[in-house]
Structure 1
């Protein structure tokens, strides 16, 4: 402290205006700011890189839901499956993996509401099998473009514009570690080369639309409360949708 006092006295002595300098020091010794001057009034120049401010607009996403009665459903020619059995499906996956690597698949979550309850549109095959509309991507195909193509092929008419399908957000990623049915919402620690990635997207429907359903499918609207914790009836992927969708705010539009 003594050394600091000596240095300050030396500065005052050597200053061209010792009285003014001494007054300024007395004003700043208590708080570091001149008396009667707010620290908030001082501006600083940052010559470093300028980073954009954070955007929190996605923290509370609002999704418009329209009544099921707003939509019209028709039929079109049946769409044959690529594989005639589960065994054939995984054999084809194995052969394609050897040539092109991991398969990439996309699936669409299409939402409507009935009595202000969210419903998911599912394709039903037979009496007990349900799946989301979706399919496999080409080797270099973009995920969003591929999903729009698949939706138009599956549920659209010949003149259905791809603009009808507005891809809003990613819902989840599921991974298939091996050439067999189990999929997980993570890559198991012992797996270094998963065989398939399935990405789920939330697709915003327009207020009115026409769905052309292949004759070998049924398009059903399943309420979220029916899917919740019901992996026995719908499988773990579809049964997890209520949890994955709970982060959105739903706006229930009238007819």
Structure 2
């Protein structure tokens, strides 16, 4: 099985939309006909002229709905979001009772500040209800060793450039080795059949499997195609290869 990854200039470069003002984008989870009272609304501040981490890309709401529909299993789970950006999946997990650490590149203070703003917009106090840390992929800095014990690692659309693929895989492999039994679950947008992580998974002794997305969003009456915008998006789970 080949796992083709995403990468495109529209996510690697500065977004050049003409709108400059920040706006609030709302995401609704639950509230379907079967349980209208079971509803969660998340408000995400976005800046269309900011770097790509200031915008909620299609992979994020899909991962967020996946987590929401498993919210009963998230209570008190310790979750790390890599490359959090606007942090929609991690914030949803925190609202579902998980103990969440949101991370982004430690040399991007504005991105980290925006994550904190996303938290505060949803009544989550950084350092109290949720944590925000700088973490650079591929570098085993002090921030990596200070992370708590983890049950789950998540990411939405982190594989945006082949130059960072191994850095991400190295970080994930290290964290999974330190947190036996943890999983890395992530969404990615496919844009090139030439880009894949199969060789890297083998090199770092990891195993990947696809997660069926057919039913995601149905509990909330959401059509995932609305988020995909014509793109092909996949959901994967990565674990350590256990010795035979």
Q: TM-score range by the shorter chain?
A: under 0.3
Q: Identify the structure with bigger relative contact order (alpha carbons < 8 Å, sequence gap 6+).
A: 1
Query: Based on CA coordinates, which of the two structures has the bigger radius of gyration?
Result: 1
Q: What is the TM-score when the length of structure 2 is the normalising length?
A: 0.23
Structure-1-length-normalised TM-score: 0.22
